[in-house]
Structure 1
Amino acid sequence: MKQKVLVIDDDNSLRRVLEYNLQEEGYEVRTASSGEEGLYWFGQDQPSLVITDMKMQGMDGLMVLKSIKERSPETLVIIITAFGSVDIAVEAMKAGAHDYITKPFNREELKLTVRKALKFSGMAQENKRLKGELSDRSDLKSIVGTSKEMEKVFDVVRKVADTEAPVMITGESGTGKELIARSLHANSSRKNGPFVAINCAAIPRDLLESELFGHLKGAFTGAVKDKMGKFQAADGGTLFLDEVGELPIELQPKLLRALQEREVEPVGGTAPQKIDVRVVSATNIDPGKAIAEGRFREDIYYRLSVIPIHLPALRERRRDIPLLIKYFCNKSGADKVSFDKEALEMLVMYSWPGNVRELENTVERLLIMREGDVITAGELPEKFCESRPLAHALIRLPDEGYSLEQLEREVVVEALERNSWNQTAAARFLRIPRHTLIYRIEKFGIALPARG
C-alpha cells in the first residue's frame, strides 16, 4: 500500500513540482492550495506525512501545524520556509514540526527528507505496536484459562501483584511462568519502571556474576569498560530471575546479600550500590529436592518464595485446551478455523509434555498445513493417534447401542490374540495387573488355546 503524503502550498508551480517528485518516488500525493483546504483533506485522508509551506495567505503553515498536532499528535509535519528564516523554522520545531527544508531546495534533498521522516514514522508505529503487544501479554486477560487450577493462580496474582513481596513461580517448562511474572509487574505500582528478565541457565557460569551485578573496567580480561548489571538495570522496577534453580551455588551468597541488604557490589568493585528492585523468580525444578541435594540454599529459597505460585501442567487442566486452541487460532488471524470433534478430543487427551508452548506450536503448524477451515483428526501428527479415544480409534458403536460386557470381552480376546495368548504380555498391553486379566478371562469364559 502506498504511503499518503499531503502537500499544502498556495504557490501553484511549487505545489506541482512537489507533487510530481513525490509521485515519482511512489507516494500517494494529495495537494491543497490553502491551509483551510489542507485541513479538510487531512481529516478525509489521514496521511502519514504533511508537507506545508510556512508563509501562505490566510491560514499560515504554523497554524496548520498546530491544528494537525491537536488532532493527531503522531502525524509528522515538514515545514517549507524561505532561506534565512531560521528563527521561523525553530519556532515551527518547537510547535511540533518533525523537520524543515528551506527554499530553494533540490529534488534529492526533498526526497531524502521525506524518506527519513516516513522511516521515523514507521519505527514509531512499530514501537507503539510492540508496546501494545507487551501490554497485552502482561494483562491477566491474555492468560487463557477457566479451570479451577488456573483460577487459583489468578486469585493469588491479583492479591500479591501490588505488593513488594518476592514471588517464586514453579512449574514445568512451557507453562507460562514469564507471562505470570509480567502480569505481576504490570499490575503493580512499579509498572512504569523497567521489567528486566535474565535466564540463569542460559548464561555461562563465568559471565553470570557480571550479568547480574555488573562489573568495573579492568575487573577481568575483556572488561574494557564499566557495565551495568541486571539488578541496576531493573532499579525502580522488577527483576525476573528465570530458572533461578540453576544459579551456581557459589553465586548464591551474593544473591542472598542483594536480597537482604538491597544492595549489590559490581565485580571488581568495593563500594556497594543501593538498589530498589522487586524480585520475581521462576524454576522448573523441585526446590525441595534441589535443597536436599545441596544445589540450592534453603535461606535463598525462603527469601525468594515469600509468595509461592505453582503453575499446573497443561495435562492437569485439560478443560482449558479448547479455549487455548481457539485463542491461538484468533491470534494467528484464523478465527474462522475450527477442529472437528474427533481432532479436538485427541488434542485434549494428549499428554502435552511441552505444555502450552507445545500446544501453540502445534496449532500454528496445523493452521499452516490445513486443507480447509475444519481441521480433522487425519491432519494431526502421528503422535496424537496414541491419545485417540477408544470408541473412535478402534470401533464405531451402532446407533442402537452395544453391550459393555461384550465389548470388554472382545477387547480382552484381541489383546490375547495380539500377544500370542501370553497373559503377562496381554496384561501389559491392556495396562492392567495380570491377576485382573485372569479374572476377566474366567469371568467371560474365554477358552485358552491348548499348548502344543
Structure 2
Amino acid sequence: MPPHKDHVRVLIVEDTPSLATLYQNQLQVAGIAGDIVETGSDALEALCKQTYDVMLLDLQLPDQDGCSVLASAERAGVSVTTIMITAHGSVNIAVEAMRHGAYDFLMKPVSSERLVTSVRNAVESNRIVSQKPERGPVSGQENNTFGFIGSSAAMQGVYRMVESVARSQAPVFITGESGTGKEICAQSIHQAGPRKDGPFIAINCAAIPKDLIESEIFGHKKGAFTGATTDRLGAVMSASGGTLFLDEICEMDINLQAKLLRFLQTNQIQRVGDDKTQTVDVRIVSATNRRPIEEVAEGRFREDLYYRLHVLAISLPPLRDRGHDILELAEYFLKRVSSAEGKDLCSFEAQAQNWLLSHRWPGNVRQLENLITGVAVMNDGEAVAEAMLSAADHTAPPSLPVEYERAASAPVSSLPGDYHAADKSLTVNIERPLAEIEREVIEAVISRCDGSLPKAAHILGLSPSTLYRKREQWLNTDLSVIG
C-alpha cells in the first residue's frame, strides 16, 4: 500500500524482532511508515538524525528502560510523541510513563486496531498543536470570554491547548481535580471553535440516576417505559451541530459505555423504545476527576471507549500549583461579590495574601470562590485581613482519590487480616534522617493494613489526607531521581 498522504513516520523501538516486524506491518497496512531499532541508544541516535511523528517505545530494552530513553531525549532537546508498549505493565508503570511525557500506554499483546488508533490519535494531537497561531503570552483577562482567570505558566499552556484543539472535530478528554474548571474548559473549546453557533449541552454522568442516564443522553420514545409520557430528544440530539460535554465520564454505567462507543463509531443513535436509528453530527468533549488509566485497569471503564475519547487530552492544574493565580482569582471574586453586595472590600492585606498562597485548596477554584464570597458577605471595610479568611475557612480534609474515599467508608475497627494478632514490632535504624525513618514507619503500617490509607491513618493518629499527600510527595521525589 502506498504511504499515507501525510507521510506519517513512526520509530519502532522493540528488541523482539518478530514483534517489531508485526507492528511495522500493521502500521503499513494503515498507510503509516515505520522504522525499527532494538535499543534505547539506537533510538536516541535515530531521533537525532530524523524527525518522527510518533515513537512506539518498549518499556524493557536491553540497555535501558523506556522512561530513561524519554528522559535522555528530553535532555537532548528531542521532542517526539511517545506511545509506551510493555508486557510488564501495571497502573504504576503507566502513571510513571505518563509523568515522563508519554502520550499513551499500551499493554502487550496489542491488537492491530488498538495500535493504529493510538498512533493516529497521537498524530492528530500533533497536528492540532503544531497549527496553533504564533502569538505572545495569553493573559487571563484576554480569555475572560472563556471564563479563565490567571496568568501562570501552567494556565498559559491550557489556554494555548484550548485554542489549538478548538479548531479540530476530534474528541477531547479533560482531566483534573474537582473544582479546577473542567466545564469552563469544555465551554472554551466550544466557543473558540467552528461550532460556537451551535448548542453546548452538558451532562453530568454522576448526577443522573443509573436507570435514567440512557434516556437523558440518547432520548426515548413516548411509552418506552413507565413515566415516559412524551418523546424526549436526549442530550446527543439536542447537541446536534454543536458540542456534547460528558462530565464525570468514568461514572457512566459499563453497559451504557457500549452504546456510547457504538455512537462514536457510527454517528448514529437509537432512542430508548425506538426501532429506528438517527444520524447525529456532534463533537464529544469528556472530563473526569479520576485517573482514567486506573479505571480501565480495574475494569470500570471500557478500554476501547477510552481510546475513542482520548484523542486530544487537556490536563487542568490544581489551584495549589498555579502560584499567584490564587491572588488574581481571589481579587476577581472579591470585587465581583463586593459590587453585588454593595461592599467596599477590594483588596487583601499582606498577611491575608500570604495565607491565600500557603493554603492547599483541596477544592481548588470552586473552594476559593466560595470562601471569598463568604468573607465579602460577612465583613466590612476596604481590605480583607487574615483573620477574616481564617474565620471563614471550614476546609474539610483535602479530597482523596476515589479509591481512598471508598476505603474511608469502611469501619476502622475492621482491620484487614489478623492485624490485632499480628506482630506489631518494627526494627528501625535510627542513624538516619528523620524523614527516612518516618517514611519507613508509615509504609510499614500501610503494608500491614493491606494498603488501606484510612485504616493506617487511624492507627497512626493522622488523617488519610495527610498520608496521601506524603505518599504523593514521595512518588514525585522518586520520579525526579529517576528522571
Q: TM-score range by the shorter chain?
A: 0.5 to 0.7
**Stretches of structure 2 lacking an aligned partner (at least 5 in a row):** 1-140, 396-427, 440-483
2:362 paired residue number: 353
**C-alpha displacement at 1:299, in angstroms?**
1.0
Q: CA deviation at 1:434?
A: 5.8
Alignment of 1:307-318 (within 5 A): 307-318=312-323
- CA offsets, 1:259-310, max 9 Å, x none? 1100100011121111010011111110000000000011111111110100
Aligned positions, number: 259
In 1, Cα distance between the equivalents of 2:297 and 2:177?
20
Distance across 2 between alignment mates of 1:324 and 1:208: 35
The residue matched to 1:168 in structure 2 has which SS?
strand
TM-score when normalising by structure 2 = 0.51
The partner residue of 1:231 within 236, 240, 264 is 236
- Answer yes or no: is the 8 Å Cα contact 1:174–1:354 preserved in 2: yes
Distance 1:434 1:231, change over 3 A: closer
2:168 equivalent in structure 1: 163
Separation (CA, whole Å) in 2 of partners of 1:431 and 1:247: 45
Residue from 209, 216, 219 that aligns with 2:221: 216
CA gap of 1:138–1:255, structure 2 versus 1, over 3 A, is: farther
Find the residue that maps to 2:203 and give its secondary structure: strand
| C-alpha distance in structure 2 between counterparts of 1:317 and 1:225, whole Å | 48
Does residue 193 of structure 2 align to residue 188 of structure 1?
yes
8 Å contact kept, 1:185–1:195: yes
Q: Counterpart in 1 of 2:373?
A: 364
Cα distance in 2 for residues equivalent to 1:435 and 1:293: 31
Runs of at least 5 residues in structure 1 that lack an aligned partner in the other structure: 1-135, 387-423, 425-429, 437-452
**What SS is found at the alignment partner of 1:241?**
strand
1:410-449 map, 5 Å: 432=435
Check the 8 A contact 1:266/1:272 in 2, yes or no: yes
CA distances 1:11-35 after superposition (whole Å, capped 9, x unpaired): xxxxxxxxxxxxxxxxxxxxxxxxx
Q: Distance in 2 between matches of 1:221 and 1:273?
A: 24
The CA distance in 1 between the partners of 2:234 and 2:272, in whole Å, is: 10
The CA deviation at 1:432 is 4.3
Which of 374, 381, 385 matches 2:390?
381
Separation in 2 of the partners of 1:310 and 1:335? 37
Post-superposition Cα deviations, 1:148-198, rounded to whole Å, max 9, x if no partner, equal 111111111111112101101110110000101111111111111111111
2:292 aligned with 1:287 = yes
**Aligned partner letter, 1:227:** R
* Aligned residue number for residue 76 of structure 1: none
Whole-angstrom distance in 1 between the partners of 2:434 and 2:212: 49
Instruction: State the secondary structure of the residue aligned to 2:212.
Output: helix
Look up the SS of the partner of 1:146 in the other structure.
coil
Alignment partner of 2:261 out of 252, 256, 261: 256
Distance 1:336 1:371 in 2: 7
Corresponding letter in the other structure for 1:279: I
- Counterpart selection for 2:252 from 243, 247, 251: 247
1:278 to 274, 283, 303: 283
> Is 1:341 the counterpart of 2:346 in the alignment?
no
- Secondary structure of the residue aligned to 1:182 is helix
SS at match of 2:361: coil
Q: Deviations over 1:334-370 (max 9, x none)?
A: 6861111111101111010110000001111111122
Q: CA deviation at 1:320?
A: 0.8
TM superposition shift of 1:371: 3.2
2:333 to 328, 331, 339: 328
The equivalent of 1:72 in structure 2 is none
Q: Deviations over 1:12-69 (max 9, x none)?
A: xxxxxxxxxxxxxxxxxxxxxxxxxxxxxxxxxxxxxxxxxxxxxxxxxxxxxxxxxx
Output the amino acid matched with 1:350.
Answer: H
2:305 aligns with 300
Give the aligned CA root-mean-square deviation in angstroms.
Answer: 2.6
**Contact kept in structure 2, 1:329 and 1:335, CA below 8 Å:** no
Which protein is bigger by CA-based radius of gyration?
1
Report SS of the residue matched to 1:269: coil
**TM-score w.r.t. structure 1 length?**
0.54
Partners of 2:228 and 2:438 in 1: CA distance? 69
**Contact 1:153 1:311 (8 Å CA) reproduced:** yes
1:24 corresponds in structure 2 to none
CA distance in 1, matches of 2:438, 2:197: 64
Shift of 1:383: 8.2
Asked whether the equivalents of residues 137 and 182 of structure 1 are also in contact (C-alpha less than 8 Å), the reply is no
